[in-house]
Amino acid sequence: MSASEPRVDGHQHAEPPDWWIYRGTGRPMYDIDLTEILPPPPPWRDFGGSLPEPDVQPPEDDGEAERRLGSEFHLTEEHVDPHELDMVNASLYLRRPLLLTGRPGVGKSALAWRIARELRLGRVLRWPITTHTTLNSGLYSYDAIARVQAAATSQSENTEEPPIGDFIRLGPLGTAFLPRKLPRVLLIDELDKSEADLPNNLLSVLEDGEFLIDELARIRHSSSEVKVHTADPNETATVVDGRVRCYAFPIVIMTSNGEREFPPAFLRRALQLEIKDPNVEQLAAMVANHLLDQEGEHRDRLVREFVERSRAENGLPADRLLDAVFLATSGAYKPDGVAWPRLIDALWRRLATGR
C-alpha cells in the first residue's frame, strides 16, 4: 500500500507527523523520555507546583492494562484513526482534558490504558462516576469518626494519638494532582451519569491544577507537612500546608455515552473526540491481542460475522466479539450444529434488542 493510498476505513496511511508523541499502538516506548520530548505547557496551563525531591515514580501497572488491552501488540498505527491521534497529542501538548463520546463498548475507556502503557506512565487512576458521585469523593475522604475513636483509645491506653494523615485518603482525582515529574493518567469514566453540578464543579480543579484539604489547611501552622494515603494501593504522599498542586498536569480522559448534554463552560475547557465503531481491521487486531487460535479460522470468520450483525443491530459492544471468539476457541463451535447459532444469537442480537 502506498503512502497516499486510501485505506479500507477511509483513513490515509502515511508517515506520522513529527509532532506526534503518542502513536496509538499501546506498545511501550522504551526508547524515549517523555520529560525530554514533551514541550513545556502553555503559560496559561503552567501551574507551578513544586517537584518533590527525590521525585517519586508512579506505581507500575497492576495488570489492568493487560486485562483491558491484551498481552500482545497487534494494533499498529495503521489501525488508529489519525484524528484520534491528533486529539490525544493535542491534549498532551495543551494539558487539556479529553472528553470521549461514542456508543457503549467502542473502546473509550481502553484509550486511557493504551496511553499509559505506551508512554510508560504506570498505573491508570480510574474514577468511575455514578449518580451519587461528588467532587469531594474524587479528591479525598476524611474519616472523622475513626479519628475520634482512635483518640479515645489512645487516651484510655495512655498512648500517642495517631496523626491526622492516617485518616485521610486521596481519591483518584486527588492522587492525579500530586506533584510528579511525569503526568499520571486519570480516567473519569461515564461522566454523563453524574449529577448536573459535577461537570461544573470539576472546572475549579481542572482549571486551577490544585485543591485544598480543609482539615489539613486548618492545622498548617502546627503541622505543615502531613503524610496521607493515596488512591494507589499501599502508597502515601506528603501534603504541604493542606494544598495539593500539580507539577505535571495529569492526562485526563473523560468518557461519555451521550446520555446527557454538558454545560458550555465545561465543553469550552475540554478537547472533544468521538470514538467511532471499530472496523474489521481494528476488531481483528483486538481479538489477536487477547486470544487467537493457531489457524485464525474462528477469529476471521467471527470478526466478519460480528461486523455484519453489528451493522444490522445498530451497533454492538466489541467485548461481545471477544466473548464469542473465546467460546469458539474453547470448543463450543460446531460448524454443522444448531447450538452455536443459538448461542451467538443470545450473545449478540438479543443484547441489542433487549428480548
CA distances to 151, 176, 178, 253, 322 from 277, rounded to whole Å, are 55, 30, 35, 18, 15
CA distance 227 to 239: 6
Residue 112 has pLDDT above 60, yes or no: yes
Q: How far apart are CA 172 and CA 179, in angstroms?
A: 14
Q: What is the mean pLDDT of residues 114-132?
A: 95
Average pLDDT of span 204-208: 95
Contact present, 60 and 102 (Cβ < 8 Å)? no
At 152-189, the pLDDT tens digits run: 998 888 888 899 999 999 999 999 999 999 999 999 99
pLDDT at 308 over 60: yes
Cα 306 to Cα 77, 313, 318, 322: the distances in Å are 23, 10, 9, 10
Share of the chain above pLDDT 90, in %: 52
| Domain positions in the chain | 34-274, 280-353
- Indicate the CATH number for domain 34-274: 3.40.50.300
- Residue 55 DSSP symbol: P
Taking only the tens place, the pLDDT of each residue in 73-107 is 667 777 788 999 999 999 999 999 999 998 887 88
pLDDT reported for residue 347: 65
Q: How confident is the model at residue 5 (pLDDT cuts 50, 70, 90)?
A: very low
User: Taking a C-beta distance cutoff of 8 angstroms, is the pair 285, 139 a contact?
Assistant: no
Span 11-36, pLDDT tens digits:
555 678 889 999 988 889 888 889 88
Residues 245-290 have pLDDT tens digits of 999 999 999 999 888 889 999 999 999 999 887 766 666 666 666 6
More confident residue, 155 or 133: 133
What confidence tens digit (pLDDT) does each residue in 38-65 have? Answer: 999 999 999 987 776 666 778 898 888 8
Instruction: Output the average pLDDT for the chain.
Output: 83
